[in-house]
Amino acid sequence: MTQSTLTQERYFKLSGGGNDFIALAEPAADPQPHDVRALCRRGVSLGADGLFVLRQEQEGVRMHYWNADGLPAELCLNGTRCAALLSDHLEWSDGRVVIFTDAGPIMASSAGTDTITLDVPPPSSRLEEITVELEAESWRGWRVDIGVPHFVIPWRKSLAQAPVATLGAALCHADEFQPRGTNVMFVRYPSPNVLEIRSFERGVEAETQACGTGILAATAVGLSVRMLTLPAEAITLGGFPFLVTGKTEDGRLFSWSLTGDARLLATGEIERAATVEPETPVWSA
């Protein structure tokens, strides 16, 4: 069994809009994939959707993020808001800070108690409308890259009945999105300034309470098909509202910001037992 180097490291548990994270501030070494998988496993360890490491830099803070499966991801906006909150908590910043992510720098600022605003660059690539075939059914949606890939599906019926766990998992790993896989967003636009969204996230391999990059992907689609205008409120499974603001012209996006919940839940010290990754059982035939 692989030994972890994180025993006795201080950790922080944070939540951003219902996504929960483990954070390490200036650890002696970055976690290995087995460390991330072990710490994020619910029931036998701290449990989280992902883990990030935060380090001070001269002009801001550097953030590296891993999903619960132990694989790195270039960007997690709910995690980035939590990183900004933690930076303030550690007195590395004072209400405004640049977070250097693997997808590029993002300006974060406090927007009130437990609320952080992120200024995010517009998508670098065009939206691509595609149809995915699964077991004789066709699913039309838009491929959107917001630092990480998304497949946005407009959902005509109530999201209460959307098969996020099953269809989301199948679409996440469909041939069209290999080898990386994709986040899958089920979205409705009930009015011009509101979107409702449920999210299946790759790396977590489950529905999550919210997905910040997914909200922006769904916003980009809504603007493109002229079913949404800014400012727009996003309603998520976690019950935390998000606000997207920005500047557009003829459906073209010039700048946008995402405001939402971020909170520090607990701090502690990692014990050895939390770093042990249980063996996957092999069931008898």
Q: Count CB-CB contacts under 10 A for residue 92.
A: 17
Residue 211 annotated as catalytic: yes
Q: Is 76 a catalytic residue?
A: yes
Gap between the Cα atoms of 215 and 242, Å rounded:
8
Please give the full DSSP string across the chain, using - where no structure is assigned: -PPPS-TT-EEEEEEETTEEEEEEES-SSPPPHHHHHHHH-TTTSS--SEEEEEEEETTEEEEEEEETTS-EES--HHHHHHHHHHHHHTTS-SSEEEEEETTEEEEEEE-STTEEEEEEPPPSS--EEEEEEETTEEEEEEEEESSSEEEEEE--S-GGG--HHHHHHHHHTSGGGTTT--EEEEEEEEETTEEEEEEEETTTTEEES--HHHHHHHHHHHHHTTS--SSEEEE-TTS--EEEEEEEETTEEEEEEEEEE-EEEEEEE--GGGG--PPPP----
Among 40, 82, 172, 211, the active-site one is 211
Residues 40, 76, 82, 172: which is the catalytic one?
76
Question: How, if at all, do strands 19-25 and 50-57 pair?
Answer: parallel
Residue numbers annotated as active site: 76, 211
